[in-house]
Amino acid sequence: MIMESIKPEAIYTTTETEKVLRVSTSTMKRLLKKGFIRANKVGGQYRILGKEIIRLISPEAEKKAIHSYLSLKKKVTDKMSEW
């Protein structure tokens, strides 16, 4: 239910991410500081990609996405090598 609403390429603030993950501000700071969730600092505020939130919520979803990408990449590479 939550995963469908998270867009992988969208950019989220820490406040938005806290709501999605249902964690407190202090927990969010801890996740960022320890590197559990990667973020970029823009103008003194963190910005988090949706795919990072998905990765944190469901490593299995990330693995499926990587597998799909690599499978498609192989098909494209094989097709191009035929040319």
CATH code: domain of residue 37: 1.10.1660
Per DSSP, the chain holds a count of helices (H) and strands (E) of 5, 3
**pTM to 2 decimal places:** 0.64
Structural domains counted in the chain: 1
The Cα 46–Cα 17 span in angstroms is 10
Tell me the pLDDT band of 1, cut-offs 50, 70 and 90: very low
Residue 62: domain span: 2-82
**pLDDT at residue 4 in the model:** 56
The per-residue pLDDT for range 34-83, each reduced to its tens digit, is 888 999 999 999 999 998 998 888 767 667 767 777 888 888 888 888 87
